[in-house]
């Protein structure tokens, strides 16, 4: 009993309890009033395509609020592998339900209040039609990256994890329904996300797995974008982070109706000096030539059609 009383006086525990009380009060207020919500912004892209540095740059706006981390568990609880027969983490407009919208609005309001939401959760690159059905006024910021660099970075992510954990999915989804032995058994779990058809790659080489993930993520995003009103879709290139960062983000801010301040402009000028803090090193082009050249060479033919669709040339 005395130990429990001591815990109640612990400052860290007191702060956590106060935070939860504040969230509970917000949740109750949302239940009672259903306050109007501003259209959210969803940042999407294949894992390791530059979503983190883009998220941090857009999230620097004081006109947006965000959680600061991804929430695949939340979106999957609404519709995902554990309630769709392990099909995938993708979702289309046909899977959207009014109660999903209510759950999302309450989730964000409880934690962040009534501000305009910026969400970056990489599985949502496969859920654009679903999110558009839930939030017709939402805007999507999509970033693409040269498949050779993107896939090379994904291979590193599978191998190295991240500085604050790892990308593997059993920690969120539990035990997989069938054996996984990717890369001759080196990996017994999937990392990043489950795209439709993932089961066919449970025993594939790692470079083929990552190529499959990259192709699926971009294909699902581009196909869904074709059905959106043009003003809802903002399409970025990772390579422009180095070639024209100020112009790129000034345009993004303008299309999101955000103020592009002097501080934001200065931040954009130094993007190539900012480590992403997720795997290793600063952003750079053509990393694959130093990190995984032999593996990438093996999948060049496989990724060529999507490379062309995205405007890249495998010969350059």
Helix/strand number for the chain, H first, E second: 16, 4
Cα separation, 299 vs 214, whole angstroms: 12
- Among 292, 253, 302, smallest CA distance to 62 is for 253
* Structure tokens that stand for 148 in this block: 């050779």
Cα separation, 166 vs 46, whole angstroms: 16
pTM (global) more than 0.85: yes
Instruction: Write the DSSP string, 202-260.
Output: TTS-HHHHHHHHHHHHHHHHHHHHTTS-GGGEEEEETTHHHHSHHHHHHHHHHHTT---
Domain chopping of the chain, boundaries = 29-310
Question: Rounded to a whole number, what is the largest CA-CA distance in the chain?
Answer: 71
10-38 residue pLDDT tens: 677 766 777 678 888 888 888 899 999 99
> Which three-class secondary structure state does DSSP give residue 184?
helix
pLDDT mean by block of 10 residues, the chain; 316 residues = 57 72 85 92 96 96 96 97 97 98 96 95 97 98 97 93 73 94 96 97 98 98 97 96 94 98 95 60 69 93 97 88
Instruction: List, in sequence order, the alpha helices (H) in 68-146.
Output: 72-78, 98-112, 128-134
Residue 293 has a CB neighbour count (10 Å cut-off) of 12
Asked whether 269 and 246 are in contact (CB, 8 A), the reply is yes
29-310: CATH, from 3.40.50.300, 3.30.450.20, 3.40.50.700, 3.30.930.10: 3.40.50.300
């Amino acid at each position: 009993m005395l130990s429990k009383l001591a815990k109640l006086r612990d400052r860290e525990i007191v702060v956590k309890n106060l935070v939860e009380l504040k969230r509970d009060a917000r949740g109750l207020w949302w239940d009672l009033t259903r306050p109007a919500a501003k259209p959210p912004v969803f940042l999407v892209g294949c894992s390791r395509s530059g979503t983190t540095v883009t998220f941090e740059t857009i999230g620097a706006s004081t006109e947006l609020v965000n959680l600061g981390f991804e929430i695949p568990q939340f979106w999957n609880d609404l519709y995902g592998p554990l309630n769709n027969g392990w099909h995938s983490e993708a979702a289309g407009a046909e899977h959207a339900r009014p109660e999903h919208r209510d759950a999302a609005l309450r989730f964000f309001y409880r934690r962040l209040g009534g501000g305009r939401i910026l969400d970056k959760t990489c599985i949502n690159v496969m859920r654009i039609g679903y999110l558009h059905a839930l939030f017709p006024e939402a805007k999507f910021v999509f970033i693409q990256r040269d498949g050779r660099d993107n896939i090379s970075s994904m291979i590193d992510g599978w191998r190295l994890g991240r500085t604050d954990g790892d990308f593997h999915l059993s920690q969120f989804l539990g035990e997989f329904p069938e054996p996984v032995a990717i890369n001759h058994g080196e990996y017994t779990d999937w990392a990043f996300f489950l795209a439709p058809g993932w089961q066919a790659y449970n025993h594939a080489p790692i470079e083929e797995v990552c190529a499959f993930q990259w192709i699926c993520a971009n294909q699902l995003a581009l196909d869904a974008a074709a059905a959106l009103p043009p003003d809802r879709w903002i399409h970025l290139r990772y390579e422009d982070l180095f070639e024209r960062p100020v112009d790129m983000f000034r345009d993004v801010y303008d299309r999101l109706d955000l103020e592009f301040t002097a501080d934001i402009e200065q931040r954009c000028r130094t993007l190539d000096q900012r480590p992403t803090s997720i795997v290793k090193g600063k952003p750079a082009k053509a990393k694959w030539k130093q990190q995984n050249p032999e593996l990438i060479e093996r999948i060049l033919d496989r990724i060529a059609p999507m490379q062309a669709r995205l405007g890249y040339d495998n010969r350059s």
